[in-house]
């Protein structure tokens, strides 16, 4: 089976057991909300994104899809989307991908990490007036939006109730730990896990690690969330003390350098390093690689380094990229749920021009998607 056919088969299987997106596809095929419009989607090009774009394209218009991260790009998905007549921008250089996507002059943008919108604002400011509205789905992207506001309305899906409660809390943690086990062979029972960042995603990662039998501690810089972690039953040491005890450390902060080289240099025993947040720079993998005195590749997605002769091995999974996304792991339902909301939001925006600034996704849209999900889960 070629890669595109394999990707198509996976999309079909996903849709069989949770047919939320195909239901929406029927609606979009009938309504054609994006007729004569160009819509750009910046996303991790997994089979779940292929499942979404396939249905969106039924609603008319021109769709341009951009790879959010080369490491999370499934080549079969790229081929499949291109076979479906969709322009797909890939390549090592993110800036090139974003510029090529913007060359299509989108009126609507669905972004991840505010990358496409930032490129537009910084490099093509005049083109911003062509954009009717945008959607951002990540915490990292919303933080960037607040620092660099756009001259058009941006719908914040991340802070709706559905993404927070279902994908961040349940999707990531449930998907992440089997990836760690598959790559390393480690059983979580009795292992010591350090979760760095206790937002909704970190909460899920910590909760599922405990459910798999690990002993979990949390590092969190926000005192409110640190206290919540304590009431949830997790000790909250500082980073150095937590790393001293950990077998596995996971970053879930969305912040560059949350696990810096200086902290890794102080580690005394072997440690597995995992990122479940955004991008590749939460763990300083570049610094680790540059300062290593020894290193070897143990297998796919697993490289280990030593920072001093005979020192502990620091094993990096997925090269520091969000591991569950790299391996497209876990139940697809939580992601499909917020993809359904993303699609309904894009439909809503096709008939609107919201005022500039951040807008919370309307609760009525979330309730509608939740109702549809309840029906397909029966």
Chain residues in the site for ligand NAD (CB under 6 A): 138-140, 167-168, 172, 196-202, 219-222, 225, 252-255, 258, 276-278, 322, 324-325
Closest to ligand NAD by CB, 225 or 306: 225
Closest to ligand NAD by CB, 104 or 302: 302
Strands 192-196 and 153-156: unpaired
Nearest approach, Cβ of residue 140 and ligand NAD (Å): 4
Nearest approach, Cβ of residue 13 and ligand NAD (Å): 20
Closest to ligand NAD by CB, 4 or 274: 274
Closest to ligand NAD by CB, 8 or 68: 68
Nearest approach, Cβ of residue 129 and ligand NAD (Å): 28
DSSP 178-210: HHHHHHH----TT-EEEEE--SHHHHHHHHHHH
**Beta strand ranges found along 205-268 (DSSP E):** 215-219, 248-251
Closest to ligand NAD by CB, 4 or 335: 335
CA angle in degrees (0–180, nearest 5) for 318-111-218: 45
User: SS3 for 236?
Assistant: coil
Name the burial class of residue 186, with classes exposed (0-12), middle (13-18) and buried (19+) by CB atoms within 10 angstroms of its CB: middle
Which residue shows structure tokens 């996903």?
14
DSSP 149-170: --SSEEEE-TTSHHIIIIIIII
Q: Which residue is nearest to ligand NAD (CB)?
A: 199
Q: Give the C-alpha separation, 203 to 362, whole Å.
A: 25
Q: Which of 162, 101, 165, 170 is nearest to 134 (CA)?
A: 101
What angle do the packed helices 333-350 and 47-56 form, to 10 degrees?
30
Nearest approach, Cβ of residue 84 and ligand NAD (Å): 25
Contact 62, 39 (CB under 8 A): yes
Nearest approach, Cβ of residue 235 and ligand NAD (Å): 14
Closest to ligand NAD by CB, 28 or 339: 339
Q: Give the C-alpha separation, 162 to 203, whole Å.
A: 15
Nearest approach, Cβ of residue 321 and ligand NAD (Å): 9
Closest to ligand NAD by CB, 101 or 321: 321
Nearest approach, Cβ of residue 239 and ligand NAD (Å): 7
Alpha carbon of 235 to those of 72, 182, 216: distances in Å? 33, 27, 8
Structure tokens at 342: 């993303």
Closest to ligand NAD by CB, 210 or 255: 255
Structure tokens at 24: 């929406």
Q: Which of 189, 216, 192 is nearest to 204 (CA)?
A: 216
Closest to ligand NAD by CB, 276 or 336: 276
Alpha carbon of 327 to those of 177, 178, 254: distances in Å? 11, 10, 19
Nearest approach, Cβ of residue 259 and ligand NAD (Å): 8
Nearest approach, Cβ of residue 154 and ligand NAD (Å): 15
């Amino acid at each position: 089976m070629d890669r595109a056919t394999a990707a198509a088969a996976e999309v079909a299987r996903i849709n069989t057991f949770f047919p939320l997106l195909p239901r929406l596809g029927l609606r979009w095929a009938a309504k054609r909300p994006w007729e004569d419009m160009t819509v750009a989607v910046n996303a991790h090009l997994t089979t779940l994104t292929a499942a979404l774009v396939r249905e969106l394209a039924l609603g008319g218009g021109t769709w341009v899809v951009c790879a959010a991260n080369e490491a999370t790009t499934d080549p079969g998905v790229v081929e499949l989307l291109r076979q479906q007549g969709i322009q797909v921008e890939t390549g090592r250089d993110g800036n090139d991908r974003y510029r090529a996507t913007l060359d299509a002059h989108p009126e609507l943008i669905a972004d991840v990490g505010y990358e496409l919108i930032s490129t537009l604002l910084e490099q093509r400011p005049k083109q911003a007036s062509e954009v009717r509205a945008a959607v951002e789905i990540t915490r990292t992207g919303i933080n960037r939006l607040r620092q660099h506001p756009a001259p058009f309305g941006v719908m914040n899906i991340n802070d709706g109730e559905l993404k927070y409660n279902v994908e961040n809390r349940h999707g990531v943690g449930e998907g992440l730990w089997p990836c760690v086990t598959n790559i390393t062979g480690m059983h979580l029972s009795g292992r010591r896990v350090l979760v760095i960042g206790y937002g909704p995603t970190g909460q899920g990662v910590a909760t599922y690690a405990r459910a798999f039998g690990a002993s979990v501690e949390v590092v969190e810089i926000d005192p409110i969330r640190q206290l919540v972690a304590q009431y949830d039953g997790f000790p909250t040491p500082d980073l150095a003390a937590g790393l001293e005890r950990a077998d596995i450390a996971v970053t879930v902060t969305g912040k560059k350098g949350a696990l810096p080289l200086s902290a890794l240099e102080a580690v005394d025993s072997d440690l597995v390093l995992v990122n479940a947040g955004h991008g590749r720079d939460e763990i300083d993998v570049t610094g680790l690689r540059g300062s290593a005195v020894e290193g070897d590749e143990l297998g796919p997605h697993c490289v280990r380094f030593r920072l001093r002769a005979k020192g502990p091995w620091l094993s990096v999974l997925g090269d520091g990229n969000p591991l569950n996304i790299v391996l497209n792991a876990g139940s697809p339902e939580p992601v499909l749920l917020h993809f359904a909301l993303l699609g309904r939001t894009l439909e809503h925006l096709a008939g609107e021009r919201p005022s500039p600034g951040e807008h919370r996704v309307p609760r009525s849209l979330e309730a509608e998607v939740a109702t549809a999900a309840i029906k397909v889960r029966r």
